[in-house]
Amino acid sequence: MIENRNNQKIGAAILFVGFALLFFILFSRVLFIQATGKADGHELKNEALEKYRRTDVLEAKRGTIYDANNEVIAEDTSSFTIAAILDASVTTDQKEPNHVTDPEKTAKVLAKYLDMEEVEILKRLKKDGDPFQVEFGSAGRGLSNSVKRKIEDENLPGITFIRQAKRFYPNGKFASHLIGFTQQIEEEGKDGKITFETEGQMGIEKSYEKYLKGKDGKIRYTSDLWGYLLPDRHEMVAEPEDGNDIYLTINSKIQTFLEDALNEVEAQYDPSKAFAIVAEAKTGKILAMSQRPTFHPGTREGLDVNWMNDLVEYSYEPGSTMKIFTLAAAIEEGVFNAEETYQSGTYQVGPNRIRDHNGGAGWGEITYAEGIQRSSNVAMAKLLEKMTPGVFRQYLEDFHFGQKTGIQLPNEASGSILYNFPLEQVTTSFGQGTTVTAMQMIQGATAIANNGKMMKPYVIDKIADNETGDTIINVEPEVVGEPISKETADETLDVLETVLTAEEGTGKTYQIEGYDVAGKTGTAQLVGKDGKYLTGASNYLFSFIGIAPKDDPELIVYVAVAQPKLENESGSAPVSRIFNPVMRNSLQYLNVKPAENIVSKTVELKDFTGEKTFKAREAYEKYGVDPVIIGTGNKIVKQVPAAGEKMLQGEKAVLLTSDNWTMPDMTGWAIRDVMKITEIVGLKLSYSGTGYVISQNIETDSVLKEGQKLIVQLEQQGNVEEANEKAKEDSDQPR
């Protein structure tokens, strides 16, 4: 018994000593850590700071792309995604809660700003499972900065926003293959963290990526457990470097003329391809270029149909538009005599027979001038024989066929000169066999329009620093060759004018009232998948290249339409529906004086902001402009187009008043006029179809709110009867 007690005392003493020793060790460890601030060789202060240190990316703004008039074509905008924090643990001060405390009130307020029913918002705010935070689907994404500010002004606890940079293309389908688009590329860092980089995927956005792309900055700061900034925080900021701005040669007004014309032809004739370029004759500056099919750079809708920029990447047999250069070479060599005659119909090349486009029947013995007017293949073969194939081969090189223009757009094709055998040499003279690009045709035509000096086509006017505005790169017109003399260029234009004015001319349908146009039609055979030429009345590439005014050229317009659905019409019908309005409207817009006494229809707007509404209306009506007044206020607060901009008489101009903005009836409006409304009020536009407005989701006279979504349906009003009537008058298929 006594022995057991002794053992218990010894055991208790051992435990006491053990615990005392453990306590001493722990106490010593705490004292050591407190005194030195170190544990296992680590600085605990630094470890603690690192734990609560946050590093966020400060996104660089991608450079803006402007047109020739400094109008935005592509820019970075901030959009926001709204989120609601539901976890009460983020709130440390009940007087200033950081989570949603009143779901019913929050849902009621948010319903005013989101395209979402109050009951649906409330359902998310009361979501089962105790989520940390919730979002609101598509209705809560892509919010503008103005909508964000309005929600913030409501002071709703727990409502937060996630900022996202978004590339915005305000004009929609507008030179889309030229401009291109951007895409978020997912990248995984060394630390395994996923980031997203914005990269250009085609067109200007891709070619000039190194100029447009900025350099992201960083911000490092200390925060609390939930990531909120501490009151006595210390920040380290590396500012982002924004991308440079690019100014194009594209003129938005002329581009719009072209887009509208292409839309109408696409809707009425459903071609497999259609493309066109408008260029400044004396500089090579591209003022407009587009194609069909096309796509929307913001949504990518339509991109799956045709990724290729047909104007620089697609090489094809040009057909009879190539005869321009054969004619010019023959004149330069002194072998073209307009009054000399030849036997039309057929021309023998070894065992092969070249035929004129009327089945080889020809028109008997005619002059070479008439041969050009009728687009005779035999006339070209005879001229080639006169100047010899070797000489003409050199002219092809002098006009830079078979070479890239160097326009600095992705994937430019060079085409190919097929010229090895006598038959290939002859067919090349009238546009068959040898292939070209549309941009090469424009480049070659500048020599005809610019006194023999050939200009390099270009779409970039300058690249400027985003912050200072200083010019980094300035592009000047560049002469890339002088294949013919001024005298030859003048005579070539004179002959090409008769293609439109002579009774036998294939280009009569391309005449424009008030302006002398020189040009050439083309009807090129298309090659099928089997490598053989297609047959059938519509299986051609119909084209026209026109220069105006003939005596002092300002513009070159080249149009091509492949495989249009024709009904008792010639191939000139769809091509002229693009060329004629684009050339006419562009010349008038540029205030090019007509040869005939036609009053200019271009006006330049003054600044009416701050003026009385009735005075502005009267002034616009005197301009000959159709004023659309938004609101009932007695003063003008904004106008579109802006002061100093030019527009054609009869166009719509929008004036925003100081009070009570209401929706006009837009039935029959073109999309460019609809965009004026969305720009001036700040609406979000969504549209489908082509042509003119037939329906709108916002009812006429209903109140408008900034950020509201406008949906319009477009439909062609068609002019099939008019086209058929023209076709009866113009029964000759142009060649």
Question: Catalytic positions, please?
Answer: 320
CA-wise closest residue to 680 among 720, 719, 653, 651: 653
624: left (phi over 0), alpha (psi -120 to 50) or beta: left
97: its two tokens: 């809660």
Closest CA to 405 of 357, 349, 364, 445: 445
Query: What secondary structure letter does DSSP report for 702?
Result: P
What does the alpha-carbon distance between residue 561 and residue 30 come to, in Å, rounded to a whole number?
A: 85
SS3 732: coil
CA neighbours closer than 13 Å in the CB half-sphere of residue 142: 11
Q: Which residues pair with 654 in a beta bridge?
A: 628, 640
Phi and psi of 350, rounded to 5°?
A: 60, -130
Inter-axis angle of helices 422-429 and 389-398, nearest 10: 50
Question: Residue 31: how many CB atoms within 10 A of its CB?
Answer: 10
DSSP string, 57-70: EEPPPPPPEE-TTS
Rounded to whole angstroms, the Cα distance separating 400 from 361 reads 34
Evaluate whether 647 touches 625 at the Cβ level (below 8 Å).
Answer: yes
Pairing of strands 709-715, 684-688: parallel
Q: How far is C-alpha 611 from the geometric centre of its chain's CA atoms?
A: 35
Cα 431 to chain centroid distance, Å, stands at 31
Pull the structure tokens for residue 264. Answer: 């109408």
Longest dimension (CA), the chain: 148
DSSP 296: -
Q: Is 596 helix (H, G, I), strand (E, B) or coil?
A: coil
CA 49 to chain centre: 48
Report the b/e string of 168-185 with b at 16+ CB within 10 A: bbbbbbbbbbbbbbbeee
What's the length of the chain? 735
**Euclidean distance between CA atoms 375 and 732, whole angstroms:** 11
Contact 243, 62 (CB under 8 A): yes
CB atoms within 10 A of CB 9: 10
> Could you give phi then psi for residue 680, rounded to 5 degrees?
-75, -30
**Two tokens at 369?**
């001038």
Which residues, including other chains, have CB under 8 Å from residue 574's CB and lie 6 or more apart?
Answer: 265, 268, 269, 271, 274, 542, 561, 564, 566
Q: Are 432 and 525 in contact (CB under 8 A)?
A: yes
The amino acid that residue 228 corresponds to is Y
**CB-based burial of residue 104 (10 Å sphere; 0-12 exposed, 13-18 middle, 19+ buried)?**
exposed
Q: Which residues lie closer than 8 Å to 112 by C-beta, 6 or more apart?
A: none
Would you call 167 helix, strand, or coil by DSSP?
A: strand
Q: In the beta sheet, which residues pair with residue 695? A: 713
Please give the Cα distance from 32 to 38 (Å, whole number): 8
CA distances from 607 to 68, 619, 673 (A): 21, 11, 19
Residues 113, 151: Cα–Cα separation, whole Å: 7
Please answer whether residues 613 and 634 qualify as being in contact, where contact means their C-beta atoms are separated by less than 8 angstroms: yes
Which residue blocks in 229-367 are alpha helix, DSSP H? 252-269, 310-313, 323-332
